[in-house]
Amino acid sequence: MNYLIVNALVMTVDRERRIIRDGAVATSGDRITDIGKTEELKRRYPDHTLVDARDHIVMPGLINAHVHLTQALIKGCADDVELMDFLQYRVWKLMGSYTPSEAAASARLCILEMLKSGTTTFAETLLAGHYGLDGITDGVVDSGIRGILAKSVMDLPSYATRDNIMDPGMIEDGDECLERARRWKREREGEGGGRVKIWLGPRPVGSISRDMLEKVSSLAGEEDMGIAIHFCEVQEDVRLIRERYGMEPGEFMESVGIFTPRTLLAHGIWLSPDDMERIGRKKATVVHCPGSNAKLASGICPVPELLERGVNVALGTDASTCENSCDMFGAMKLAALIHKARTLSPTTVPAETVIEMATINGARALGMEGEIGSLEIGKKADLICIRTDTARTAPNTNPVSAVVYSATGSDVDHVMVDGKWIVRNGSVLSMDEEGILEEARTAIAAVLKRTGVNNDPRWPVS
Ligand SMILES: [Zn+2]
Ligand 1 centre to CA of 461 (Å) is: 31
Residues 6 or more apart in contact with residue 303 via CB below 8 angstroms? 286, 288, 313, 335, 339, 349
Q: How far apart, in whole angstroms, are the C-alpha atoms of residue 374 and residue 361?
A: 10
What is the per-residue pLDDT across 290-339, written as a single tens digit (0 to 9) for each? 999 999 999 999 999 999 999 999 999 999 999 899 999 999 999 999 99
Q: Are residues 72 and 39 in the same domain?
A: no
For residue 358, give Cα distances in angstroms to 156, 333, 403, 445.
Answer: 33, 11, 11, 34
In the chain, what are the helix, strand and coil shares in percent, each to the nearest 5?
A: 40, 25, 35
Ligand 1 centre distance from Cα of residue 413 (Å): 28
What per-residue confidence (pLDDT) applies to 163? 86
Whole domain around residue 282: which residue ranges? Answer: 62-365
Whether residues 13 and 32 share a domain: the answer is yes
Q: Which of 28, 19, 20 is nearest to 377 (CA)?
A: 28
Q: Are 119 and 61 in contact (CB under 8 A)?
A: yes
The SS3 assignment for 199 reads strand
Give the residue from 393, 287, 371, 373 showing the smallest Cα distance to 331.
Answer: 287
Q: Are residues 148 and 31 in the same domain?
A: no
Residue 152 belongs to a domain: yes
CA of 230 to the centre of ligand 1 (A): 6
pLDDT of residue 84: 86
Burial class (CB in 10 A: 0-12, 13-18, 19+), 1: exposed
Residues 6 or more apart in contact with residue 457 via CB below 8 angstroms: none
Partnered with residue 414 across adjacent β-strands are 385
Print burial letters for 138-163: b (CB count within 10 Å at least 16), e (below 16): bbbbebbbbbbbbbbbbbbebbbeee
267 CA distance to ligand 1 middle (Å): 8
Report how far ligand 1's centroid is from the alpha carbon of 285 (Å): 15
Asked if residue 89 and residue 51 are part of one domain, the reply reads: no
Q: Which amino acid is located at 164 in the chain?
A: N
If DSSP codes are grouped into helix, strand and coil, which group holds residue 305? helix
Confidence (pLDDT) at 160: 82
Q: Which residues contact 66 (CB under 8 A, 6 or more apart)?
A: 123, 125, 228, 264, 266, 287, 289, 314, 316, 317, 318
Q: Residue 117 belongs to a domain with what CATH number?
A: 3.20.20.140
Asked whether 200 and 153 are in contact (CB, 8 A), the reply is: yes
- Residue 447 falls inside a structural domain: no
pTM tops 0.95: yes
* Pair 110, 72: CB distance under 8 Å: yes
The pLDDT value recorded for residue 159 is 87
Same domain, 355 and 394: no
281 in the same domain as 241: yes
**Helices within 189-317 (DSSP H only):** 191-194, 210-223, 235-245, 249-255, 273-281, 290-295, 303-308
Helices (H) and strands (E) in the chain, counts: 18, 17
Residue 100 lies in a domain: yes
Q: Provide the pLDDT for residue 452.
A: 96
The answer to the question of residue 207 being in a domain is yes
- In the chain, the number of structural domains is 2
Sort strands 383-387 and 412-417 into parallel, antiparallel or unpaired: antiparallel
Please give the distance, rounded to the nearest whole angstrom, from the Cα atom of residue 203 to the centre of ligand 1: 10
The DSSP call for residue 272 is -
Q: How many CB atoms lie within 10 A of CB 336?
A: 22
Note whether 20 and 149 are same-domain residues: no
The answer as to whether 301 is a domain residue is: yes
C-alpha 75 to ligand 1 mean position (Å): 14
Question: Same domain for 206 and 321?
Answer: yes
Task: Say how far apart CA 204 and CA 47 lie, in whole Å.
Answer: 53
Same domain? For 68 and 189 the reply is yes
Q: Are residues 415 and 289 in the same domain?
A: no
Residues with CB under 5 A from ligand 1 (ion): 318
Stated as kind and residue range, the H or E segment containing 357 is: helix 351-358
Mark residue 333 as left, alpha or beta (left: phi above 0; alpha: psi -120 to 50; beta: remaining): alpha
Q: What's the CA gap between 365 and 229, in Å, rounded?
A: 13
Looking at the domain assignment, is residue 448 inside a domain? Answer: no
Kindly state whether residue 115 falls inside one of the protein's structural domains: yes
| Cα of 287 from ligand 1 centre, angstroms | 10
Q: Are residues 148 and 256 in the same domain?
A: yes
What CATH number is associated with residue 382?
A: 2.30.40.10
For the stretch 408-437, pLDDT in tens is: 999 999 999 999 999 999 999 999 999 999
Residues of the chain below pLDDT 50? none
Residue 321 CA to ligand 1 center (angstroms) comes to 10
Distance between CA atoms of residues 219 and 178, nearest Å: 8
Q: Is residue 454 part of a domain?
A: no
Q: Are residues 261 and 136 in the same domain?
A: yes
pLDDT recorded at residue 284: 98
- Distance (Å, rounded) from C-alpha 185 to C-alpha 198? 5
Taking the mean position of all CA atoms in its chain, how far away is CA 316? 5
